[in-house]
Each structure stands twice: as structure tokens, then as C-alpha cells.
Structure 1
Amino acid sequence: MTATLVRLAFAGIRRRLLASALTILLAGAAAATIVLSLEVGATARDPWQRTFTAANGAHVLANVSSEADARAIASLPGVAERDDAVPAALAGIVGATDRLQVAGIGSPAHINKPVPIEGSTLPGDGIVLERSFADALGLRVGTTLRITTTGDPIELPIVGTAISPSQPRYPRQNPGLAWVSRATLEQVQPDSNRWRWTESIRLTDPAAAPAFAERAVASSPPGTTSVQTWKEQRAEALRDAEPARLILTTYTIVLLVVVFAVVAILVSARAGAQYREIGLLKAVGFTPRQVTAVFAIESAVLGLVAVLIGFAVGVVLAPRLAATSLETMLGSPTTAASPWHLLVASCPVLLVLVGSASSATRRSTRFTALQAIRAGAPTPAGRSRLARLIGRASLPVPLSLGLKDLLARRHRAFRLAGAIAVTGAAVVFALSMQASLDARPPGEASDVPKELPALVYSLDAVLLLITATTLVAVALVSVRERIRDYGVLKAVGLTPGQITSSLVSAHAVLAAVAGILSIPVGIALYVIVYGIAGGSSEDRVIAPWWWLVLVPAGGVLMVILATILPARSATRISTADALRYE
């Protein structure tokens, strides 16, 4: 019996190639976002490790208030190698609001040393800037930088750029970092009591870094010492992937909602088209559960194909999304494909596909074999209260007929409206994100990775493509189901234009309602994600109303373009052929 169910499922896949391709596209997109969210952080681990090795990175960094405290920490048991403590002071940049932590190097560093990118790492009478800080402000080697002091500003030539494994990307790590000579530091801040000292330590056992850090804090005056282990440095550096991971998680949920709605529409349409065949299966002994299993197996097979495609796409794209972290690391992000990520991606995708197919099919198998064999097509559901209200309203005949036809399959209409509304909410989310970015004061560096807006727009484009394809598929299904009715309408005098209008206008009304609902849903989604990302409510900006109005208008236009060709195809069939259509 199992072999029979599998054969029937594969036969269904071959018969419905458009629906099968759409299911793979939907599920593959969801799987790809899951894989991307899992892979994007791991791809930067190797570049950070290369940077840590090149810098002879510190297993523990201790930031203290005096040189004596730094020496005391360096004398604790377990230290394998130490460097002279490095003093630092805060400085401003003339003509800018950006702040800079200026570290005074007395002799070439051996631990946690700056890794050269361009020019020299020996400042001399100039200054070496951390690369992400220099890039954010558009500063180049060979130019000069005016920084504030306790007296008059001083001009320093930029002699090089460098990176450090302990310094995350600017402006996420603010203030920025620069290296100068000890003499220059004394010019910036002559009062050494206002300096902070950093002691870089390598341990005999790197795994003991957390315990050593606790001893370091305990050995210093309360509230004067902060420490950072090498694992904490790595975690902080890899946090650049967190915004992308949050966006990908959000869009994964959105895609899975759309997948559930669209697959349910496609499966229920196929079950309706095979009404008599299902009746015959029940007549030869198939139970409703076994009939449901055929559709569930079909969806699961398509889901497995989609997950494999999505996994491959996610693995390839993940290093590109991690490109922002390159500003503070050596080398390129590496591909870190993990079979566990394939398993994690497959679980939610297959559960949604199988669950959607099962829920849609159960409703379509509630009839006897005799009913199916006699009728040949499912009996239309009774008119809903909304359909009766539309019937009483003074609407144009094509619109009234179209709405009544659409609401005759209520579940399909609600699922389609849900898919359109969720897609519109994603667009509202993107518009609000762009409004927040545009509200940033001119000249202020953004801590939002430049790849993030591109990621959001790309995911919105995928959602719009999926929704448009779904609309075409649903319109084709609706036309196929209503061909005989269209023949009757032509026989009683409706023109081809009116028949086309009945299908297009009804779906346009549905899209308008869904588009209006998508605005508050999208705003709520943006507020939630903005809060999770740590943004303050004072800085949050919602897209202006004239942007938001474009969402339902664009949804209606998309629906018209997606449904007009299938609708016109229905009018090309002669009345006699339409009335004989099975």
C-alpha cells in the first residue's frame, strides 16, 4: 500500500508541474533564509582567527585605571607572555562629532599588535587609524587629521591603517581606535591620571581565560577594571552578523506563513480537480487518511528537493552577507557548510508543507465515493453572509459575479488575502527601515551594515515574485474551475470584457483589502524587530503615509497584471466548448 501511495504522489507531481515548481520555489526560498541565518555567523570565524594569529592576540585584555594595576594583573599565576601596558585617552575630531580612543605606543607591541593594512603601523609623529574607522569617515593614508586636545587642536598625518582582533567594526564599537606615539598622546591628554591602561596577556592555558579574568578583577580596586577574554573578543567581532541573522529569521517566518497559505491553496485546488478520482480511490478501499497521505507525500518530496536547493543557495550566499566583517579581519569569509544546518532547515519547511497539505486535503475528502462518482466535481459551498451582502449591494454585474465566485471558496480567498497581506507587511517593514536610515543626521556614520538594506530589498523582491506567481497560478485554477460557468455567462449575454473584468476586479478588491491590512501588520512587525535589535523608541522612524499608501496601490496593480492574461484566456473558448467542458 505504501508503494501505491508513493506512485500516486509522484504521478501528481508530474501532472501539476506549475504547482510543483511554485512549491519548490516557495519552500526553497524559506530553506535558503534558514541556512543563511545559520551560516552567516560561522563564515567569519576563520578570518577572525587569522587576524588573532597575525596580531599575536591576547587571551585576556585588562583595562585598568593605572599602570601599577596593570603590572599587578600581569604578575598573576598562569601568565605565559605579557606586553607593556598601553595608555589611551579619548579625543575628538575637529569638525566632526566622532570620538576616538588614542592609544600611545611606547615601543613596538608584541601582543595584540595592530595588523597592518595600508602604510605603517609605527605612528612616529603621525597617527595610525583602525581601518573601519577610517573607512566610515572617508579618511585615507597621506592626508591629515585634526584632533582636539586640552589646548589647541593638533594636526597629525595619517601614516597607515590597521586592524585589531579586539576592536569590532566602527561605529558599532564607538569610539573608534587609533595608535599614536607616547609623545603624541601626552600632547592630546597631558594629565596621565586621566589615561586608561590596557594590559595584553597570553596564558599558558587559553581555556583558563575566564578564571584568570575573574582573578584579575578580584585583585584590582572595585569598579576600576574591565576584562575581555579571547572568546569574548571573537563573539563581539562576530556580532556584525546579528542584524542579518535577525532579518533572515523575520523573513523566514514571513516566508513560512506564505508557504502554508499558498501550498494549501494549490493542494485544495488539485484535490477539487481530482474529485472523481478521489472518489474512485475511496471506492477501491482507500481511507480518507490514505488519500491525505498521497498529497502529504507529494508535498514532502517537493520539500526535500526545495531544501537541497535552498541549502546550496544559502551556503553560497552566506560569505557575501558576512562581507561587512572584513573591515576588521584578514582574508575573506569562508564557506562553512554543515550537515546539521541542512537538517535544521528541513524540519520547519517539511512540517509546514506536510501540515498545509494535510489540512487542505482533509477538508476536500469529506464526501462519499458515490457522491464523487455521480457529481464529478465538488458541490459549491453555501453562500456566506458576506456573499449574500454583496448580492444585495448595488455593484456592477462583473464585480458582483467575481466577488461571489471568489467567496464561494472562502478558504482559498482568505489564504490568498493572507499571503498578499504578509507580503505587503514585508514591504512596509522595508520602507520603515529605509525611513529610519534616511533620518540619520548628515555625515553621521551608520552602524547598519551596508549589505543589510540590500538583503531586505532582495528578500522583498523574492516575496513579490512568489506572490505574483501564486496569483497567476490561482487565476489559472479559477479559470479552469469556472470555464463552464463562463460559457453560461456568455450564452446569456455577457461580453468577453465583462467576464475578464469579473475575475480581475474581484481579485483586485481582495488585494486592496489585504494591502490596507498589511500596513498596521508591517508597522507592528517593524516595531517588534527594531526593539529586538536594541533600537530606542526615540530613534525609531515609521515610513511616511505617502510611502505607505503605495503598498495597497502596488498590490492592486500587481494583482491586475498577474490575473488579466489568465482571465482573457477564459474568453477565447467558444461557448459550445465551454458548456461541454469537464
Structure 2
Amino acid sequence: MSGRLLLVCRLLMRDLRRRRTETVLLLVAITAATATLTLGLTLNEIADRPYQQTRTATVGPDVIVTPRATGQAALDELAPMTTAASVTDHSGPFPIAYLTMTAGDKSAHAVIEGRDSAPVSINRPAVTDGTWVRPGGVVVERAFADALGVRVGDTVSVDGHPLRVIGTAVTAARATYPYAGWHYPGSVLVERGGLVWVDRGDIATLAGGQPLSYTLNLKLADPAASATYAVGDQLTTWQAIDHLNGRLYGDAQMALLVGSWLLSGLALAGVAGIVAGRIIAQRRRVGLLKAVGAGPAMIAAVHLAEYLVIGLAAAATGLAAGWFTAPMLIRPSAGLIGSVNAQPPALRTVIAVTALALTIAVAATLVPVVRAAATSTVHALADAATPPQRRRWRIWLSRQLPTALLIGVRINARRPRRARLVTVNTLITTTTLVAVLVVNTRVEHFDLGYTELANPRSERMDQALLVVIVVLCILALINAVVSTWTTVLDARHPLAVARTLGATPAQAGLGLAVAQLLPAIPGVVAGIPAGIGLLTFVSTGEVQHPPGSWLLATALGVLLAIAVLTAIPAMVATRRPVVDALQSAPT
């Protein structure tokens, strides 16, 4: 047993050293999928860290109560809550008015909260620029200020009353822009809006004839017990605020998770193509091992061990890449302080990523490995390609084809599984590109009452889509290059024979390009409805279809890229003398 294990390890190390380029390509293909999955799974885990830091820095409350009643009725309703047995501290009640703030040519809903200049024990907003409230001035929540484009020293108008912006601040007592909770007094329908603070003495003037609402901040003996409170339009817990802030990353997480599924399929196709080429190149070694007494189980173990080791290395690399990349890609809301610190991934993330890497490695290698293990010794030593199945109608049809097209069809007939991998590669690539087109054509109405501002949720989704599309294009490029080069190496002898029989170098090179384009066409055609259908499936809103010209340009662009990638190795292959190709040993 130890002797067999030693043999497997020696052959494993020998293959990894001799085929370094292919090993690196395998590692990159699987790592692309695992790194994207790591980002998607860790997004929610790390997105709430800035809120926790903000909550600590601002002494955030555990429960925030805002009665639907206004004026004295609201104060009477809040009075007994400050003496409840579970409450250890409180601040407020603070007056609130739901008004409109105008900055330049932009007007938006604004929750106006009246505060005192003296600090309180609970809910002390942290000033990030300028100073805290004073008469005649306004402090704007930082994310809201960024959306409106206002800075300290600017002048804004609150329901027609000009105020000078004296500072920006962050708080953990309300969700960051755009989820500050604006609504009409007495209404349960909450709309988007931002939060600002003014001096308590100014709020009555700003509100005019509108009755004031009030809010009360409570600190509990057991902060975790606030999760048992019935959250509604009159009561909010810090957990609910954390959840609202996390919604900013919901679309980005979906984009990363769906992207990891697509990249997994692309990695599977790429790995399968590389593995098929490697096992074909190792067919003679399989015959030698069988000739000296190795059984099918030993042959399978020799091959699988190599790819399992690469899969585990890719899982570790993907976890590390996702871990270090997440803080750079995930930008916390401006309404929070702190940063997204890189911390070791959770155990469930490690297990999921490792399982994905091993699944890709095993799924892509199992069929060719089993086929190699079941190959007879004589056939393996002969190292001959499987002859295509001949049918009379195929022979008749082939006689009608131009020379270049005939060469391409025969190349694919010799290696049909490789042609299917090209189809899968182009299908997934086109699906992703079309899905991105659909996202970019969406008509977004993200208004805060009177104007349209930037949607921070969409901004984060666009960042995630950029990551997915860049990684996918790199992986698709690698797959296309590997598939083309493998086809060129495998077709050297058939092309040499064709040139001996009268085919010109141009026809041979064009035949290689056709061999890649033929299986790519159905992948591109199927990828267009697949991309639209995928986004329709994962989207919660109405999907806007991109113009037909965009879809046609995408399809032609994918096919043109494949043709260009095929042209260079095809030209190199056809420039080689026929005699050298015929005299070279089979690969």
C-alpha cells in the first residue's frame, strides 16, 4: 500500500513540474470561481462591521420609539417607557419634523431632528466635519450630504428657510441614507429620505404649522433582548437598522453569487478542456502503467490525485484572494464610520468554497479519467484518436462542403467533446454579457420626493458586476486560448495530411478557425435568451430588454473574438513544413 502511495506521489510531483503552464491555468480557472464565491458569501458577514463600529462610537441606542401621535399626545405616550424595568438609560424625547430640504437645484425629503448642543448619554452622533448643532445652522448626515453634493459652508433651504451647513455627522439611531424613514405625520407609509439635525429651538419655526413628532432612544439592560421587540412603524431596534443598512449590499451579493455560478460553469468547461488534453497526452503512459501491472483503480488514482491537489490549492488561493480583496471592493456607506476589516472567512464559507473547488476538479476530470482507466493497454500504447462514426449522409454532405469548412467539420468530428466545451464556454460568456447589458439598460427611478439622486444600492451592484465581468472575460479568454491551442496541437497530423492532398495553408488555417467557430455559434445564439432569462429569474423588478442592435453586436463581438484568438495559432500551425509535421511523434 505504501509503495502505491509513493508511486502516486512521485507521478503527481513529476506531472506538476513538467506541465507547469497547464497547472497554472487549472489553478487560475478554479480560483476565479472560488474567489468570486468567497466575495459573495462574505459580503453580508463583513458589511455590518462598519455599523457595529458606528454604534460603538456614537453610543447607539438599543430601541428607538417614534409614536404615530404628534405633539403632547406623543410625549404622554413616551413618558412611561423611560421608567420600564428593562430600560437602564434613555435620551430624548427629541422633536422631529418631516420636511423638504433643497440644496442647489435638488430637493429631497429630509427628516429634521431637533437636538441640543450639550451631549447626551445615548445616541451622540459623531461629527465627521465641521461642528455640532447651533442656532441657524444644520448638520447633515454624511451619506445624505454626499448624495446632495453639499459641504460645510454651503447654504441649504428647509421648507423655504435658509440654513448654513455647519457640519456632517453619522449616527446609529437611524438607517443611513436613503432609509432614514421619512413619512407624513400619522402615516405608516415610509418613503426614502435623508437625516439632518438642527438646534431644538429652530425646529418649530422650520416646521411651521406642521405638528411635531417625537423620538425616544432607549438603552436596555440586555441589548440582545431588543430583538424580541415587535418592530413596526413606531418602534425600531438596532438589529432592524443594521438590516436596513445591509440592504445596500443585497444586489451586489446577488450579482456575486450568480456570477460565481456562471464562473463555476466556465471553470468547469475550462478545466475539462485542459484535463482532456492532458489525459490524451498521457495516454501512452497509461498503457505503460497497465503493461507493468497497474489496474484501473491505480490509473484513476494517479490522475485524480493531481487534480484534487490542484483543486485544494485553488480553494485556498480563492479564499485568500476573496479575503484580501473584499475590503477594497466593498465600500461602506458614507453614513457609517470605520472600515471593512479583513478577517478570516467563516467556517461555512471555507467549507462551501472548498466543496466548490473539489466539485469542479472532480466533475471535470471524472469522465476522462474513468475512460482512460478503462482503455485497453494496446489502444493506449497506440495513442490513436477515436475515429469518427461514419454515415453515408455525412459522407455525401462532406463532399459538398468547401475545403476549409470540411477541414473544420472533420476536426470537430474527431474530438466532439472538445467542441461541446467550446459551446459551453461561449454560452456562459454570452449569457453573462447579455445579463450585464440588461442591467445597464434598466430605467431607474430613485427619487427622494422631488428629485432623483444616486442609488447607493445600484452603485454597489455595478461594482460587483464589474468584478464578475472582468474575471469572466479573463477566464473565457484563457479557455478560448487553451481550446484553440489544444486543437492546433491535436490537428497537426490531419492538417499535414490535408495539405499533402492539396489543401493550401490558407484553407488549413481557415479550417482551424471554422473548427472553433462552428460550436461557438449555437452557444452564442442560446446565450442571448439565457442571459435575459437569468436576469428575469433573479430580478425582483421589471426587466428592460436591451435594443436588438446591442444584442447582435454582442453576439458578433464574441464570435469575432474567437476568430481572432484562433487566427494567430492557426497561422503558426500552417507555416510549419508538412514533412516536419508528419515526422513528429504523436502528442
Shared fold (TM-score greater than 0.5)? yes
**1:66-145 correspondence runs (5 A):** 66-94=74-102, 96=106, 98-106=108-116, 108=118, 109-145=120-156
Q: Determine the C-alpha separation between the residues in 1 that align with 2:223 and 2:455.
A: 35
Q: Is the 8 A contact 1:387 1:407 kept in 2?
A: no
Q: Determine the C-alpha separation between the residues in 2 that align with 1:80 and 1:438.
A: 45
Per-residue Cα deviation, 1:337-377 (whole angstroms, up to 9, x for no partner):
2362334311111122122111232234443212333x322
Structure 1 residue aligned with 2:13:
10
**1:155-170 correspondence runs (5 A):** 155-170=162-177
Q: Determine the C-alpha separation between the residues in 1 that align with 2:323 and 2:394.
A: 48
Structure 2 residue aligned with 1:297:
305
The yes-or-no answer on 1:457 pairing with 2:466 is yes
Q: Say which SS state the counterpart of residue 257 (structure 1) adopts.
A: helix
The alpha-carbon distance between structure 1 residues 387 and 115, as it changes in their structure 2 partners (threshold 3 A), is farther
Q: Is the 8 A contact 2:114 2:203 kept in 1?
A: yes
Q: Determine the C-alpha separation between the residues in 2 that align with 1:7 and 1:182.
A: 78
Q: Is the 8 A contact 1:57 1:113 kept in 2?
A: yes
Shift of 1:478: 1.4
Kindly provide the amino acid, as one letter, of the partner of residue 563 in structure 2.
I
The yes-or-no answer on 1:330 pairing with 2:305 is no
Shift of 1:177: 0.8
Q: Determine the C-alpha separation between the residues in 1 that align with 2:392 and 2:154.
A: 74
Q: Say which SS state the counterpart of residue 84 (structure 1) adopts.
A: strand
Q: Say which SS state the counterpart of residue 457 (structure 2) adopts.
A: coil
Q: Determine the C-alpha separation between the residues in 1 that align with 2:430 and 2:52.
A: 42
The yes-or-no answer on 1:530 pairing with 2:547 is no
> 1:288 aligned to 273, 290, 296, which one?
296
Structure 2 residue aligned with 1:47:
50
> 1:209 aligned to 226, 231, 245, which one?
226
Shift of 1:57: 0.8
Kindly provide the amino acid, as one letter, of the partner of residue 287 in structure 1.
G
Kindly provide the amino acid, as one letter, of the partner of residue 425 in structure 1.
T
**1:331-370 correspondence runs (5 A):** 331-338=338-345, 340=347, 341-370=349-378
Q: Is the 8 A contact 1:144 1:155 kept in 2?
A: yes
The alpha-carbon distance between structure 1 residues 249 and 419, as it changes in their structure 2 partners (threshold 3 A), is same
Q: Say which SS state the counterpart of residue 93 (structure 1) adopts.
A: strand
Shift of 1:140: 1.5
Q: Determine the C-alpha separation between the residues in 2 that align with 1:324 and 1:449.
A: 14
Structure 2 residue aligned with 1:29:
32
Q: Determine the C-alpha separation between the residues in 1 that align with 2:423 and 2:445.
A: 33
Q: Determine the C-alpha separation between the residues in 2 that align with 1:11 and 1:23.
A: 16
Q: Determine the C-alpha separation between the residues in 2 that align with 1:389 and 1:342.
A: 56
Structure 1 residue aligned with 2:189:
none
The alpha-carbon distance between structure 1 residues 176 and 339, as it changes in their structure 2 partners (threshold 3 A), is closer
* 378-387 vs 498-507, greater mean Cα deviation: 378-387
Q: Say which SS state the counterpart of residue 233 (structure 1) adopts.
A: helix
Shift of 1:106: 4.9
Q: Determine the C-alpha separation between the residues in 2 that align with 1:367 and 1:322.
A: 50
Kindly provide the amino acid, as one letter, of the partner of residue 488 in structure 2.
V
Identity %: 28
Shift of 1:480: 1.6
Shift of 1:255: 1.0
The yes-or-no answer on 1:396 pairing with 2:402 is yes
Q: Say which SS state the counterpart of residue 521 (structure 1) adopts.
A: helix
Q: Is the 8 A contact 1:439 1:541 kept in 2?
A: no
Q: Is the 8 A contact 1:275 1:378 kept in 2?
A: no
Shift of 1:97: 5.3
Name the Cα RMSD after superposition.
2.5
The yes-or-no answer on 1:20 pairing with 2:23 is yes
Structure 2 residue aligned with 1:432:
438
Q: Determine the C-alpha separation between the residues in 2 that align with 1:491 and 1:176.
A: 77
Q: Determine the C-alpha separation between the residues in 2 that align with 1:384 and 1:26.
A: 38
Q: Is the 8 A contact 1:509 1:556 kept in 2?
A: no
Q: Is the 8 A contact 2:27 2:314 kept in 1?
A: yes
Q: Determine the C-alpha separation between the residues in 1 that align with 2:203 and 2:548.
A: 51
Shift of 1:162: 0.8
Q: Say which SS state the counterpart of residue 91 (structure 1) adopts.
A: strand
**1:256-335 correspondence runs (5 A):** 256-325=264-333, 327-335=334-342
Structure 2 residue aligned with 1:499:
508
The alpha-carbon distance between structure 1 residues 280 and 317, as it changes in their structure 2 partners (threshold 3 A), is same
Structure 1 residue aligned with 2:185:
none
Q: Say which SS state the counterpart of residue 140 (structure 1) adopts.
A: coil
The yes-or-no answer on 1:548 pairing with 2:559 is no
Name structure 1 gaps, 5 residues minimum: 218-222
The alpha-carbon distance between structure 1 residues 387 and 422, as it changes in their structure 2 partners (threshold 3 A), is farther
Name structure 2 gaps, 5 residues minimum: 69-73, 181-191
Q: Determine the C-alpha separation between the residues in 1 that align with 2:435 and 2:135.
A: 49
Q: Determine the C-alpha separation between the residues in 2 that align with 1:107 and 1:563.
A: 71
Q: Say which SS state the counterpart of residue 52 (structure 1) adopts.
A: helix
